[in-house]
Amino acid sequence: MKAVEIMYRFTDYYCNEVTLSFDDHPFSRNPKHVWVICQYHNKWLLTKHKERGLEFPGGKVEENETAREAAVREVKEETGGVVEFIQYVGQYIVAGKGGTIVKNVYFAEIAELVVQHTYYETEGPIRLACIPWNVRHNKQYSFVMKDDVLKHCMEYIKKECQGN
Ligand code: GTP
């Protein structure tokens, strides 16, 4: 018998509808966006986007690249982090005014930080012992950290991924 599928539906910082699921690629086999919740030596590893602020690294999947490959590349580009373990967590869909995007979420453990010549549109790695509980009202943080995707994924990771 198939397990009951749970979908979470909520609105994001910009009032767009978001649907999140921890099933295996429920919305698209080939999502065009990735987001990677990174852990490095018992700290969270984020980046500081020059416009959006603090966020876990991520970005767009390039042609001839899988979503998982994009996740590993984006972590390296935006933080210098070398991924030693990566696990699919879930997928979400955002119905925005300008169109719909589908994003895979991963959990990654980082082996080392290698200094990069450029961190592209970010200011590079930021290590945090914990994510503040009031991140939604904190101007330093990116809008992608300000909806229930973060909360649900952190809970999922705590239960299903950590200690691997
Ligand atoms: P470029 O195409 O590179 O200029 O970036 P963009 O931000 O305009 O486009 P992108 O395809 O990355 O995102 C399009 C829209 O989708 C954004 O403006 C957001 O409204 C929304 N979006 C993208 N990623 C997320 C996310 O992780 N969470 C939420 N809630 N919305 C997102």
> Hey, which of 16, 91, 101 would you mutate to test ligand 1's pocket, going by the most ligand atoms within 8 Å of its Cβ?
101
Q: What is the CA radius of gyration of the chain?
A: 15
Please list, in sequence order, all residues whose beta carbon lies within 8 angstroms of the beta carbon of residue 85, skipping any fewer than 6 positions away: 108, 109, 164
pLDDT at 1: 60
DSSP character string of 55-112: E--EEEPPTT--HHHHHHHHHHHHH-EEEEEEEEEEEEEEEETTEEEEEEEEEEEEEE
* ipTM, 2 dp: 0.93
pLDDT at 58: 98
Strand pairing partners for 20? 8, 92
Residues recorded for the chain:
164
Number of other CB atoms surrounding residue 41 within 10 Å:
11
Distance of CA 13 to the CA centre of its chain: 16
Terminal CA-CA length for the chain: 28
For residue range 89-144, list pLDDT tens digits in order: 999 999 999 999 999 999 999 999 999 999 999 999 999 999 999 999 999 999 99
Contact 20, 5 (CB under 8 A): no
d(CA 11, CA 92): 12
Contact 68, 1 (CB under 8 A): no
d(CA 161, CA 164): 6
For residue range 6-35, list pLDDT tens digits in order: 899 999 999 999 999 999 999 999 999 999
Strand pairing partners for 48? 54
Which atom of ligand 1 is found nearest the CA of 12?
30
Weakest mean pLDDT among 4-13, 70-79, 133-142, 143-152:
4-13
With cut-offs at 50, 70 and 90, classify the pLDDT of residue 5: confident
- pTM metric for this prediction: 0.96
> What residue's CA is closest to ligand 1, atom 29?
144
pLDDT at 164: 54
Q: Ligand 1 site: residues with CB under 6 angstroms?
A: 12, 14, 16, 18, 33, 35, 94, 96, 101, 103, 144, 147
